[in-house]
Structure 1
Amino acid sequence: MVGSGELTDKAWARIEPLLPPVAGRGRRWRDHRQVINAILWKLRTGAPWRDLPERYGPWKTAHERLRIWTADGTWERILDHVVVKDDSVGNVEWSISIDSSNVRAHQHSAGARKKGAAPPSGSKRSPFDGEALGRSRGGLTSKIHLAVDGRGLPMSIILTPGQAGDNPQLLPLLDHISVRRDGPGPPRKRPERVLADKDYSHPSTRAALRHRGIAFTSPEWTDQIARRHAKGSRGGRPPTFDPNIYADRNVVERCFNRLKQFRALATRYAKRAAYYRTEIIIAAIVLWLRTGLQDTA
């Protein structure tokens, strides 16, 4: 019997072939499905690892599996597989929406900074930057930068300290998008269009996307409009902006809402940025599996 929030039989059948064999050299591993369900329980509840219910086995086993599969890229490969599977049947919509969201970090997440790791005196760099933690008046925060397809499913994820700007992450987000073909041919990397709010509206960004042959829909800041008008004919034509197309950008905001249904993502408890990003990837896998299996039902 499948419990609430656990892997369904169809979802398990999709990802099981991508996991390492349970029986290898040395001691036999605990059942992968049980361990993944344990990790999903942790993500849903945001509870400490030590509170893991007995039916999922030892908490150290689940945490160790999370660590090992983060290091060897297993979670990334699973996400890549489910995206490729959807793209092969034409489900992926290559109109990419980009946005960011700040996440409050629990005080326990700051414990990973090693002794002596503080920046030099006078440096503007936060001592927590290496773990994507930023300090502000509100406390410790991390920022999730997200690119989603036209249905609001995650395509690319970057984690930064909470005070980091949005615009510098737009091109890196696009560079992280690489969807293999379900057959011969190079991976697809270039979307048809990018939708983003004013925080990403900068002349250098527009020029870079034009160079890549990607349509860009984003409103201009009033000061950018004023500077262009002040230059007269030398200011050039205003960028094309279609409010009806821009309205589709809300899919990225809805995706953040879905991701933050996992309480361990709504508040960051993980000390290491790599593990917190892995938790986001696992939640993204769940969203892709839910949508993909509904589409094939």
Structure 2
Amino acid sequence: MVVVVRRGELTDRAWARIEPLLPVTDGRGRPWRGHRQVIDGILWRLRTGAPWRDVPERYGPWQTCYERFTRWQQDGTWARLLEEMQVKDDSLGQVEFTVSIDSTIARAHQHAAGARKKGTTARQSTPGNPKPGQALGRSRGGLTTKLHLLVEARGLPLVLHLTGGNVVDCTAFHDVMAKLRIRRPNGGRPRTRPGILIGDKGYSSRTIRLDLRRRGIKAVIPERRDQIANRKRKGSRGGRPHAFDALTYKHRNLVERCIGKLKQWRAIATRFDKLASRYLAGVTIASLMLWLRQAELSDTL
């Protein structure tokens, strides 16, 4: 049987990588509808930002696509697939631990409002879910969500973290770094400490610099103008300027490019999901596709 691959769908190479990692049964004894067809339907919805009811019939019933998307979000399947791609590349020595950190804002559509604030839906926490709360905040753009990213030296996302759009970048820094855990395939302690961390002026704080120094991580973060002025005003009591590697800082564009690639998915550029866990699952799937695309490029070299 010849499978016709449309734009944005899983290629044969990508499917061969994730097929062995997918659940075999649905846990209720009923056979699954073909995983590849349903995943392609989920990708179509994320790429277009259309309502689930508008998923084309060629991908099967839209209810099946939505149910598979939500069930695998709840049991952590999407997060596990992304983790497996990271672990495999790391075991092959392809993940360089020079990481860049940044964030981006996603405007929340009116359909994203109205999620339950009480009960298990808002409170439960699973491997695929963020902390309680729906990661919505008021900012200049209205109701927004902020996506915090940590990417490796090839511009592939290692950590995804959601907050409200009104949260300052530096206040979410420790939560983002705490999620950096690349599991070892043969056991042992996971990789949690990069060699170099690149960030913009929004991460220039005394607390962050001291934490990175304590952990032996080189900080490539420029100082803000007010910090420079305060140090000069204090004279000798202001201390020495922080070391700054301008050449390494040029690689910060990798996280900006990663954000640009993720926002090509319309359901990520604009948040339509009521629940933060659903939106995070969509970002996880888009990140998974970036890793699969990089794996295909590596195979052709």
Aligned position for 1:169: 172
Structure 2 residue runs of 5 or longer lacking an equivalent are 120-131
Aligned position for 2:47: 44
SS at match of 2:113: helix
Separation in 2, partners of 1:69, 1:23 = 10
Separation in 2, partners of 1:115, 1:195 = 39
Deviation, 1:111, is 2.3
Are 1:22 and 1:30, in contact at CA under 8 Å, matched by a contact in 2? no
Over residues 199-249 of structure 1, what are the superposed CA-to-partner deviations in whole Å (9 max), with x where a residue is unaligned?
A: 000011100110011000111011111222222222221111121111100
Q: TM-score, normalised by structure 1?
A: 0.92
2:275 to 272, 276, 280: 272
Separation in 1, partners of 2:118, 2:18 = 40
SS at match of 2:73: helix
Are 1:112 and 1:272, in contact at CA under 8 Å, matched by a contact in 2? yes
Separation in 2, partners of 1:159, 1:258 = 18
Separation in 2, partners of 1:236, 1:93 = 33
- Letter in structure 1 aligned against 2:157: P
Aligned position for 1:182: 185
Q: What does 1:223-262 correspond to in 2, within 5 Å?
A: 223-262=226-265
- Two-structure CA RMSD over aligned residues (Å): 1.6
Q: Which moved more, 1:79-88 or 1:14-23?
A: 14-23
Deviation, 1:69, is 0.8
Over residues 31-80 of structure 1, what are the superposed CA-to-partner deviations in whole Å (9 max), with x where a residue is unaligned?
A: 11111111000011111100010010111111111111111111111001
Aligned position for 2:298: 295
Separation in 2, partners of 1:244, 1:171 = 25
Aligned position for 2:122: none
Are 1:259 and 1:265, in contact at CA under 8 Å, matched by a contact in 2? yes
Over residues 152-185 of structure 1, what are the superposed CA-to-partner deviations in whole Å (9 max), with x where a residue is unaligned?
A: 1000011111111100122221111111123243
Deviation, 1:257, is 0.3
**Pairing 1:54–2:57 present:** yes
Separation in 2, partners of 1:24, 1:170 = 38
- Letter in structure 2 aligned against 1:219: P
Aligned position for 1:82: 85
SS at match of 1:112: coil
Aligned position for 1:99: 102
Separation in 1, partners of 2:26, 2:47 = 29
Are 1:22 and 1:32, in contact at CA under 8 Å, matched by a contact in 2? no
Q: What does 1:205-216 correspond to in 2, within 5 Å?
A: 205-216=208-219
- Letter in structure 1 aligned against 2:51: P
Separation in 2, partners of 1:240, 1:137 = 34
Are 1:178 and 1:189, in contact at CA under 8 Å, matched by a contact in 2? yes
Query: Does the C-alpha gap of structure 1 residues 247 and 47 become closer, same or farther in structure 2, counting only changes over 3 Å?
Result: same
Aligned position for 2:72: 69
SS at match of 1:100: strand
Query: Does the C-alpha gap of structure 1 residues 228 and 172 become closer, same or farther in structure 2, counting only changes over 3 Å?
Result: same
Deviation, 1:115, is 7.7
**Pairing 1:217–2:217 present:** no
Structure 1 residue runs of 5 or longer lacking an equivalent are 117-128
Deviation, 1:134, is 1.2
Separation in 2, partners of 1:20, 1:55 = 22
SS at match of 1:131: coil
SS at match of 1:44: helix
Q: TM-score, normalised by structure 2?
A: 0.91
- Percent identical pairs in the alignment equals 56
Separation in 1, partners of 2:169, 2:118 = 30
Query: Does the C-alpha gap of structure 1 residues 10 and 170 become closer, same or farther in structure 2, counting only changes over 3 Å?
Result: same
Are 1:23 and 1:29, in contact at CA under 8 Å, matched by a contact in 2? yes
